[in-house]
Amino acid sequence: MNTDLTKLLEDVKAGRVSVEEATLQLKKEPFADIDFAKVDLHRKYRQGAEEVIYGAGKTAKQIQKIAETMLANGCSGILITRLSGDNSEKLSFPENVGYAYYKDAKVAIVGKKHIADGIGKILVVTAGTSDIPVAEEAALTAEFLGNDVQRIYDVGVAGIHRLMAHLDELMSASVIIAIAGMEGALASVVGGLVDCPVIAVPTSVGYGASFEGLTALLSMLNSCASGVTVVNIDNGFGAGYSASMMNHMGEKE
Residue ending a domain, among 56, 81, 111, is 111
Residue 208, domain member (yes or no): yes
pTM for the whole thing?
A: 0.84
Task: Kindly tell me if the per-residue pLDDT of 28 is higher than 80.
Answer: no
Give 123-136 pLDDT, tens digit per residue: 999 999 999 999 99
Long-range contacts of 54-59 (CB under 8 A, 24+ apart): 54/80, 54/81, 54/82, 55/80, 55/81, 55/82, 55/83, 55/84, 55/87, 55/106, 55/108, 56/82, 56/83, 56/84, 58/87, 59/87
User: How confident is the model over 176-200, as pLDDT tens digits?
Assistant: 999 999 999 999 999 999 999 999 9
The answer to whether residue 87 sits within a structural domain is yes
Provide the pLDDT for residue 1.
46
Q: Which residues pair with 101 in a beta bridge?
A: 108
* Residue 146 or 113, more confident: 146
Number of domains the chain contains: 2
- pLDDT tops 90 at residue 10: no
* Percent residues over pLDDT 90 in the chain: 65
- Residue 38: is its pLDDT beyond 70? yes
User: Same domain, yes or no, for 143 and 229?
Assistant: yes
Asked whether residue 7 is assigned to any structural domain, the reply reads: yes
What average pLDDT does the structure give for the chain? 89
Q: Are 106 and 126 found together in one domain?
A: no
Clarify whether residues 106 and 165 are in a common domain. Answer: no
The reply to whether 92 falls in a domain is: yes
Residues 54 and 134 in one domain: no
pLDDT beyond 90 at 172: yes
Which of the listed residues 79, 111, 143 is the one where a domain comes to its end? 111
| Residue numbers of the domain that contains 14 | 3-111
Q: Which residues of 96-134 are buried (b: 16+ CB within 10 A; e: fewer)?
A: eeebebbeebbbbbbbebbeeebeebbbbbbbbebbbbb
Domain-located, residue 40: yes
